[in-house]
Every structure is written in structure tokens, then in C-alpha cells.
Amino acid sequence: MIDVDKAIATSVKTGKVVFGANEAKRSVRAGKARLVVVSSNNPPEIREDLEYYGKASTIPVVTYKGNSFDLGRICGKRFPVSTLTVKEPGDSEIMKLVEQYQESQEGVEEKVKEL
């Protein structure tokens, strides 16, 4: 099992990432993002916007289990990080994590359709 926190930290250290909701929206609209990570305490309207743009451009938007302070700490920052956009994962295995997440979501959707 891949550790999410370690994958995010490695991606920040070795890959190309940008912080902030506005940068995430820009990157997703331009198709330059590979993944968007949103903190759990991010305002719903921002999360909904990012999910909408993500679906339109097939870029996964994942909600981090912790709040923005936790995400900032994982990224090695001394400030809260509400949104993290991965442009290049570097040495991180975060994209494998996204694939596992998407497969589990597809399994849930299939079970709901069966009901």
C-alpha cells in the first residue's frame, strides 16, 4: 500500500507542483495538471469548481483526508495549503495511488448500478 503523505511529500520535493486554488483552476483549464489534491476543509464551492473542471479535462481531483494545515505540513510549508496541483510527479508514486483510487471508485459505482 502506498503511503499518501509520503507520496505527496516526494512529489513536492522531486516533481513540479503549484499551490493554491486559483493556480489549480488555471492549470486544470489549460490541461497542464496531472492531479489536484484538495484539503478536506476547502470551501465547497472551490472544490465543486475544481471537480467540474477536472471532469471536463479528465484530470483527477482527490480530497486529502486532513485539513489545510496538515497538507501544508506534509508539503514542508509553514503555511496552510488548501489546494496542491501536481504538474509532474517526479520520483513520487502518487499517480499509482490515483489509479488505485479510481479503480475503487469504479467498483463502487458498479455495485450501486447493480442495486
What is the predicted pLDDT for the residue at 104?
A: 67
Per-residue pLDDT band for 112 (boundaries 50, 70, 90) equals very low
Which positions ≥6 away from 9 have C-beta within 8 Å? 74, 75, 76
What is the predicted pLDDT for the residue at 96?
A: 82
What is the predicted pLDDT for the residue at 111?
A: 45
Which residue ranges form the domains of the chain, and what is each CATH number? Answer: 4-114 (3.30.1330.30)
Which helix or strand (DSSP H or E) is residue 59 part of? none
Model pLDDT for residues 39-66, shown as the tens digit of each residue: 999 999 999 999 999 999 889 999 999 9
Taking the C-alpha atoms of residue 33 and residue 12, their distance in angstroms, rounded to an integer, is: 14
Question: Is a pLDDT exceeding 80 seen at residue 109?
Answer: no
DSSP β-bridge partners for residue 84: 19, 37
Cell numbers describing residue 91: 520520483
**Beta strand 16-19 pairing with 35-38:** unpaired
Strands (E), 1-115: 16-19, 35-38, 61-63, 83-88
Which positions ≥6 away from 79 have C-beta within 8 Å? 72
Task: Quickly count: other Cβ atoms within 10 Å of residue 47's Cβ.
Answer: 19
What is the predicted pLDDT for the residue at 40?
A: 93
Question: Is a pLDDT exceeding 80 seen at residue 82?
Answer: yes
